[in-house]
Amino acid sequence: MAKQQEKIKEFRQLAPGQLKERLREKNERLCDLGFDLAAGRVKNVREIRAVKKDIARISTLLSVKKQ
C-alpha cells in the first residue's frame, strides 16, 4: 500500500500536460503487454493489472484537475 501512496503523490505533483504524457505511455505499455500476452512472452501477468490501475489513477487526477 505504501507504493500506491507514493505513486499517487508522484502523479499529483505533475502538471496536466505531464499527466497526459504519462497516460499515453501507460496506454502504450498496456497495448504492448497485451500483444506479448497473446504471444506467450509475458513473465509477470500482474504487471497488466498494475498498469491498468495506474491508468485509472492518472485519468482520475486529470478529471479532478480539470474541474
Would you kindly state where each structural domain of the chain is located, as residue ranges?
15-66
How far is 24 from 1, CA to CA, in rounded Å? 25
Instruction: Give the gyration radius of the chain's Cα atoms.
Output: 13
In this prediction, residue 33 carries a pLDDT of 97
Strands (E), the chain: none
Of 33, 28, 29, nearest to 45 by C-alpha is 33
Which parts of the chain sit beneath pLDDT 70?
1
- Quick: pLDDT tens for 12-29: 999 999 999 999 999 999
CATH number attached to the domain at 15-66: 1.10.287
How far is 43 from 61, CA to CA, in rounded Å? 30
How far is 41 from 33, CA to CA, in rounded Å? 9
In this prediction, residue 4 carries a pLDDT of 84
Q: Name the pTM for this structure.
A: 0.90
